[in-house]
Amino acid sequence: MSDEFLYIRAAAALVFVLALLGVFAFVARRFGGGAVPSKRQKRLTIVEVAAVDPKRRLVLIKRDQVEHLVMIGGGQDLVIESGIGAASPVAVVPAQDTAAPPARQGPPRTRLDEVRF
């Protein structure tokens, strides 16, 4: 009979300890046991994600109104383009009354010198 009492006592102690851990975890989550919440506006957001292949993804990240294109996964992470939208805004000049718009000189140019393969 003493062996049965010993098993019951050990089981009760285990249940008590697990209950204490559960209560501690609940109180820690409820009352700020983690990162301190900030009242500042978030500076970092993920704008868009596109799958390149099963391992790699292109991620467009926005930080302080500036976007960065990053390729993640595979062997290494790579910054494809940085500072997208960082140019200062151009002053708007009222349009003058013209008969025809200026002719295009050719296709628009892309900035391939910043792209790393």
For residue 54, the enclosing domain spans 39-87
Same domain, 77 and 50: yes
Top mean-pLDDT range of 17-31, 35-49, 103-117 = 17-31
Same domain, 32 and 43: no
Q: How far apart are the C-alpha atoms of 36 and 66, rounded to whole Å?
A: 26
Q: Tell me which H or E stretch contains 24.
A: helix 2-30
Answer yes or no: is pLDDT of 18 > 90.
Answer: yes
Q: How far apart are the C-alpha atoms of 112 and 33, rounded to whole Å?
A: 47
Tell me if 49 sits within 8 A of 57, measured CB to CB.
yes
Q: How far apart are the C-alpha atoms of 53 and 59, rounded to whole Å?
A: 13
Split at pLDDT 50, 70, 90, the class of 14 is very high
Same domain, 27 and 45: no
Residue 26 within any structural domain of the chain: yes
Mean pLDDT of 81-99: 62
Structure tokens at 14: 């285990």
Answer yes or no: is pLDDT of 2 > 70.
Answer: yes
Answer yes or no: is pLDDT of 91 > 60.
Answer: no
Structural domain tally of the chain? 2
Same domain, 23 and 48: no
